[in-house]
Structure 1
């Protein structure tokens, strides 16, 4: 591996608490609301994703679990905010390694992660 590639590699040296939005889950797994209705869904590990919360608002039968849920909501929210910022800062050095078809750019990615949190 060349020095240039090494410098562009995304390196996050800690476990991060971030997540995806409901819409991102649907797109990622090519799902639709009608496909999910009348099913029992387990989101594990759910992390800081909004899939379960939004899905429940839409009448879906979803349970979310994650070992991180041992911690209280306020602490997880603060960790999520810090981890999003940390990850975005790290990604600035490796942004050219990503396909930006779903997210417009790093700022759009950051916004979507904040919405999920």
Structure 2
């Protein structure tokens, strides 16, 4: 029996997530952030990179949308927040609200994150912090980053991207990660709240090239089955 789609999605959405959400999703410890340069992939209008740089870390975000002006990004962000809120309201009882408390609180976080992002994005005149790029090809040298994040993109959109794309995308992340660095990916489910069906194969294929890959528990809760994140250590 097929699972019902919790959240109907066509195309890839732009999200506006906060530093605090990343911290909770990935169970982040401050020490991990201090190891070197940080990259956030498919960052959209999330304020994670802006907040990291404010805290003194060296962080960069990539997203194909970063060819847009700040005004265009802001308009798109406002539109996406409204669309997401409407979709969530239709199945509100299917989600776990421990962390967000309510749909209203969820939307307020999105609004704040969008505003923080736009302020930082507008100041980045030379496009040094916000770089337009699309997986599985990233414009960075080998061994550039100590810590790489990718949330709410891989696995979530598994009906739009095949296994080869997922494997190629992760291999690209491994290429740009420093030896001793880490890649963190969340969630491991799709929009039907089903675990990525090729996860075990992916873990085996990555392990075969001598890379340590493991599934970790997260205390963050929203999608009912999104209880884990993936850690890849180079």
Partners of 2:7 and 2:48 lie apart in 1 by 26
Which has the bigger relative contact order, CA under 8 A and spacing at least 6? 1
Gaps of 5+ in 1: none
Partner Cα distance (1:14, 1:115) in 2: 24
The alpha carbon displacement at 1:14 in A equals 4.7
| Count, aligned residues | 114
Question: C-alpha offsets along residues 61-89 of structure 1, whole Å, 9 cap, x if unaligned?
Answer: 10111111011111011110011011101
Which of residues 10, 20, 24 is equivalent to 2:21? 24
Contact kept, 8 Å, 1:17 with 1:76, in 2: the verdict is no
Structure whose CA Rg is larger: 2
**Equivalences for 1:1-117 in 2 at 5 Å?**
9-117=6-114
Conservation of the 8 A alpha-carbon contact between 2:15 and 2:43:
no
- Indicate the RMSD between aligned Cα atoms, in angstroms: 1.9
- Aligned to 1:30, the other structure's residue is in SS state coil
Distance 1:14 1:91 in 2: 17
Decide which structure has greater strand share.
2
Contact 1:16 1:80 in 2 (8 A): no
Runs in 1 of length 4+ with deviation above 2 angstroms? 12-16, 32-35
Q: Which has the higher helix share?
A: 1
For structure 2, which runs of at least 5 residues remain unmatched after alignment?
A: 115-234
**TM-score w.r.t. structure 1 length?**
0.87
